[in-house]
Copies of this chain bind each other. A is one copy, B any other.
Amino acid sequence: MIKGQQSIQFEESPFLISSASVVGKKEGEGPLGKMFDMVESEDLFGEDTWEAAESTMQKEACLLAMGKEHLEPADIRYLFGGDLLRQGIATSIGVEGLGIPMFGLFGACSTAGEALALASMSVAGNYGDYMMAVTSSHFGSAEKEFRFPLGYANQRPLSAQWTVTGSGAFILGKKRSHVRITGVTIGKIVDYGLKDSQNMGACMAPAACNTIIQNLEDFGYAAEEYSRIITGDLGYVGQSILFDLMRGRGYDIKKNHMDCGMTIFDQQTQDTHAGGSGCGCAATTLSAYILPKLIKGEWKRILFVPTGALMSTVSFNEGASVPGIAHGIVLEHC
């Protein structure tokens, strides 16, 4: 059902049936290390290139999520997937072997939200019993894609974030579980004109602010009606800007805000500067840390808001700004 300006409230809400998280070594050493399904000790995941490693990680996450529910690829009607690399190649190569009809997505680090939104819309629209949503990012492939090859050992400003090596996969459907996606708020592109690709938190905060407020208005919720409002990867810089922007519009979410990028690493000991980022950051944190709390009922209702910085090496070399986008997913214990 259409809800307000940008949202959908599902009449029959899809269940989040299964999920899995696969991460790299550094993520395994972080505060959530023991919660991930699989921690690989070598970030190449047995492959020759970072790109192939990311594909393998994504495939493993899908297989694990299916395996937990004893599902085969043939049981999954459609797959919604994406990553940060040019032409979404990690996803194309990663999910190819599964043979599931697929939709390739790009929403930068907001892709986990985009994939969950479309997968839940497809279940609620009666287009299939099981849908898969998967995203990934890899520190090695992302540094090569957007910044410098790792061998250059370049210096990173304190506002830079550390791309999470990880993939999260989710299966949505009609089969009962303890978590439902009850609604979604699809984000608009928001551009405050910032051009610093090494300060993505600042670039994404306005989009997060926009989507969160739109969600509260569309659904008529007060911020406190969410156990947590969880952004994807604003990091320390982006969070502080988000708080300022929201205060400017009369909202205070300081008490119940959480950011996956600030949760997945220990900034003090892991040298991750402003925090974690990447499609895999929000997805693996949702699977490993957030969902268990929802399943147990420790959290009743959360707003999950993966945030993306829409840029490419070409766009920032040509002097374009870095607009942001954020999609909101309402998850509830049931």
**B-binding residues in A (CB < 8 A):** 1-2, 6, 8, 48-49, 51-52, 77-78, 82, 84-89, 92-93, 95-96, 99-108, 114, 117-118, 121-122, 124-128, 144-145, 186-189, 191, 310-315, 318, 320, 323, 325
Contacts and interface: CB of A to CB of B under 8 A. Distances in A.
Contacts of A189: 92, 95-96, 99, 102
Given A87-B106, A320-B93, A99 B314 contact: no
A21 B85 CA distance: 29
Question: Which 5 A-B pairs give the minimum distances between C-beta atoms?
Answer: A125-B125, A86-B86, A101-B186, A87-B312, A92-B310
A215 B134 CA distance: 26
Nearest to A100: B188
The residue among A99, A145, A311, A314 with the most chain B CB atoms within 10 A of its own CB is A314
Nearest to A314: B51
B108 A106 contact: no
Contacts of A314: 51, 85-86, 89, 144-145
Contact of A104 (B1, B51, B106): B106
Nearest to A1: B126
A117 B102 CA distance: 11
A55 to B, nearest CB: 9
Contact of A92 (B78, B128, B323): B323
Contact of A118 (B118, B126, B144): B118
A106 B104 CA distance: 5
Contact of A187 (B86, B101, B126, B315): B101
A27 B186 CA distance: 35
B315 A89 contact: yes
A142 to B, nearest CB: 11
Contacts of A126: 1-2, 125
Contact of A186 (B102, B186, B318): B102
Contact of A85 (B49, B125, B191, B312): B312
Nearest to A312: B87
B118 A103 contact: yes
Given A101-B188, A187-B101, A108 B128 contact: no
A52 to B, nearest CB: 8
18 contacts: A2-B126, A48-B318, A78-B186, A85-B314, A86-B86, A86-B87, A87-B312, A89-B312, A89-B320, A99-B189, A100-B188, A101-B187, A102-B186, A102-B187, A103-B118, A104-B106, A121-B122, A121-B125
